[in-house]
Amino acid sequence: MKTLFGKPRSEPLEAIATSLGRVRCPQPARIERMRQSLQQYGQLSAVLVVRRQQRLELLDGFKRRRAAELLGWRTLVVAEAELDETAQWATMLLVNQRATSALADVEEALILRELVGRGLTQVEIGALLERHKSWVSRRIGLIERLHPELTEAIKLGLLAPGVARRLLGLPAGNQLLVAAAVQTAGLGPRDTELVVRLWQKTTSETGRRELLADPRRALREHFPQTQRRPLPLSPAGRQIERLLGLLKGTGTRLIELLATPPPPAEMECLGREVRTAKGTLQRLFDRLGRAASPPSSGAGAAPSATG
């Protein structure tokens, strides 16, 4: 689907309406990053607009418009396209497919719901967007499973889309309870997922009330490994953490499989791979031991000032 936008031009900020922003989820952190970018570099690309009833409606560039407003700017550079209402929603999706800060799942679902409201079937929407029908179905199902109050909270910027996404494993009524608790505790998506897991495992009303009253305490008790470290990890440290997690999962699975190993003939065929793995694991074990050990104060240590 090709869309032709006109030559960029300057327009007053107040002349650019934002009613199509009802499908976008403002995220304060991203808006702040955009504000800093505009302040430092200026506007690097035009925002995209369409004309509706003699008025310009913003199609893409909601963070830029809000950031410009915060900076007190009076104008923005815009590029206008002639699109009908079906094409405008499709274009909003398509221009963000390869964007650095792509649309959240919930935003995609809200846009798809607008297309359904235009009378399109899921098959027609998939063809329009060059997506499979199952992709359309999954996205629409996401917004249908989310409690309407949480959908509105996302659209108002009061609930992060990533947090809302983790609540979908709960019934709609429970979503509200858990959402209120994680928002009060200031939890992010990862911790919200763990709280949802604890809620599902907890069957007693007392246990659930305690979880909602202090979700951070529950996370410390049940998932101590997830608590924040005293120092942030470097890029190399984060990569090592990720690989160790993969190694732990793979190793655990191998241990389970070797409890009842395949026939000896098959293991003999795998002999070379087994020997290579043993050698690699031994070297890794030795390297991990040296890396995790504190520097020795004996031989090899730097001489003290007193000699």
Q: Which of 84, 115, 145 is the last residue of a domain?
A: 145
Does 72 map to a domain? yes
Does 236 map to a domain? no
The reply to whether 140 and 219 lie within a common domain is no
Q: Which of 204, 226, 248 is the last residue of a domain?
A: 226
The predicted pLDDT at position 12 comes to 97
Q: Of 131, 43, 118, 134, nearest to 84 (Cα)?
A: 118
The reply to whether 17 and 139 lie within a common domain is yes
The predicted model gives 41-65 an average pLDDT of 94
The reply to whether 114 and 57 lie within a common domain is yes
Does 299 map to a domain? no
Report yes or no: 146 and 167 within 8 Å, Cβ to Cβ: yes
pTM of the model: 0.65
Q: Is the dihedral of CA 12, 18, 21, 27 positive or negative?
A: positive
Strands 47-52 and 75-81: parallel
Report yes or no: 88 and 59 within 8 Å, Cβ to Cβ: yes
The predicted model gives 291-301 an average pLDDT of 53
The reply to whether 41 and 168 lie within a common domain is no
Look up the domain containing 196 and give its range: 162-226
The reply to whether 20 and 135 lie within a common domain is yes
Q: What is the pLDDT of residues 180-230, one digit of tens each?
A: 999 999 898 999 999 999 999 999 999 999 999 999 999 999 988 666 655
Does 264 map to a domain? no
Is residue 79 classed as helix, strand or coil in its secondary structure? strand
Phi, psi of 147 (to 5 degrees): -60, 135
Q: Which of 145, 175, 202 is the last residue of a domain?
A: 145
Identify the band that residue 63 occupies on the pLDDT scale cut at 50, 70 and 90: very high
Kindly state the percentage of the chain with pLDDT values over 90.
54
The predicted pLDDT at position 100 comes to 52
304: pLDDT strictly greater than 60: no
Does 233 map to a domain? no
The reply to whether 188 and 222 lie within a common domain is yes
Does 281 map to a domain? no
